[in-house]
Amino acid sequence: MSDRSRRREDGSDGSGPGSSGRGRRLLVGAVYWAAVLAVSLALVVVLLLFFEARDASQLREGAAAPGVAAAGPA
């Protein structure tokens, strides 16, 4: 009988009740997805700030928004 099969039979492969293998894997997964969420939110904020800055600069230059008539003497 090989060492691997013996380890599986007696539960000493890290999956038994007192082992931290499963908990550690769960923690690593949670940290990974928290980092993915943080990066995604940071990208959304950066894009929002970028597009707001573009809108503000266009309005300061006097460009009218598309579909809006310029206010002036009739």
> For the segment 22-66, what is each residue's pLDDT rounded down to a tens digit?
999 999 999 999 999 999 999 999 999 999 988 876 665 555 556
Residue 37 lies in a domain: yes
Residue 71 lies in a domain: no
Residue 29 lies in a domain: yes
Residue 70 lies in a domain: no
Using CA atoms, how far apart are residues 72 and 50, in angstroms rounded to an integer? 30
Task: Give the pLDDT confidence score for residue 66 in this predicted structure.
Answer: 61
Task: Give the pLDDT confidence score for residue 23 in this predicted structure.
Answer: 93
Domains in the chain, number: 1
Which tokens hold the place of 15?
């999956």
Residue 56 lies in a domain: yes
- Which residues, in sequence order, are CB contacts of 33 under 8 Å at separation 6+? none
Q: Which domain holds residue 47?
A: 20-61
Task: Give the pLDDT confidence score for residue 56 in this predicted structure.
Answer: 73
